[in-house]
Amino acid sequence: MKKLLSLCLLLSFFTFSETFAQNNRRHDTNYNGWFMYFGTHKLTDKWGLHTEFQLRRYQVVSHPQQFLPRVALTYSLSDRASVAAGYAYVRTYPYGDNPAREAFPEQRTYQQLQLRDQQGIFILQHRFRLEQRWIKFPGAEDYTYLNRARYQFRATLPLQGATLEDKEFYLGLYDEVFVNFGPNVTQNIFDQNRAYAAVGYRFHKDATLEVGYLHQHVAQRNGIWFESNHTLQVGLTYNLDFRKKNPAPQE
């Protein structure tokens, strides 16, 4: 009987705690615009240089949200697999109903494994990324170190035939989940989720343009505020080939 009573009290405590946590949560809805450039440039048959620049705006274009340049060294394991290691700088500005007190910087290193596959007419991609983050939160004198893991699954569907060719449209879909781990994780292990759908146009194999919608669900570190960010995304990909060209044979 005592064990049953103790169990009931324990269940009641967890139920009350969860109900309180749910009632204590606050939600912030924002409308943003992300304008992006990506390029993975071939240095040799195996090695490459990834460059990236993202200008993220609050209220679509009106106010700054984030500024993010990224660079990485890539290595091709095969036609379907590659690895990368790189660095990103992120500057986040106050935005939304629960803004930071001031803009703050983040220094980030990361490692990545990317796998590609073809199933019927679908082009599939899996991206696994580990991030080491040093964030100087507003009012702090020192940087806080955080770890984060990300997994993205993407599918590309040609819209003008069984394969994606030059000068054709396609549909791009992805979902990406972010999870915090290690020291200094506060109220949430779950960091955010991104769900994305876009229409793209392939100019040629090294140049594409995508315009789409991203829903970003973000859990802030205090465990109380949750963001629902409706985001217009415009992304240009343009890859360059810096490999030495063999001279044409002379006749």
User: Do the domain assignments include residue 128?
Assistant: yes
Q: How far is CA 91 from its chain centroid?
A: 15
Range of the domain at 93: 30-238
The CATH number given to whatever domain includes residue 101 is 2.40.160.40
User: Do the domain assignments include residue 51?
Assistant: yes
**Helix, strand, coil abundance in the chain, percent, nearest 5:** 10, 65, 25
User: Do the domain assignments include residue 1?
Assistant: no
d(CA 80, CA 111): 17
User: Do the domain assignments include residue 100?
Assistant: yes
User: Do the domain assignments include residue 55?
Assistant: yes
Task: Read off the pLDDT of residues 96-142 as tens digits, 9 standing for 90 and up.
Answer: 988 999 999 999 999 999 999 999 999 999 999 999 999 999 999 99
Query: Exposed, middle or buried: residue 34 (CB in 10 Å: 0-12, 13-18, 19+)?
Result: buried
User: Do the domain assignments include residue 75?
Assistant: yes
Task: Read off the pLDDT of residues 46-88 as tens digits, 9 standing for 90 and up.
Answer: 999 999 999 999 999 999 999 999 999 999 999 999 999 999 9
Long-range (24+ apart) CB contacts under 8 A made by 113-118 are 113/81, 113/82, 113/83, 114/81, 114/82, 114/83, 114/84, 115/80, 115/81, 116/79, 116/80, 116/81, 117/80
- Rounded to two decimals, the pTM is 0.86
Does the pLDDT value for residue 44 go beyond 70? yes
Q: How many domains does the chain have?
A: 1
User: Do the domain assignments include residue 5?
Assistant: no
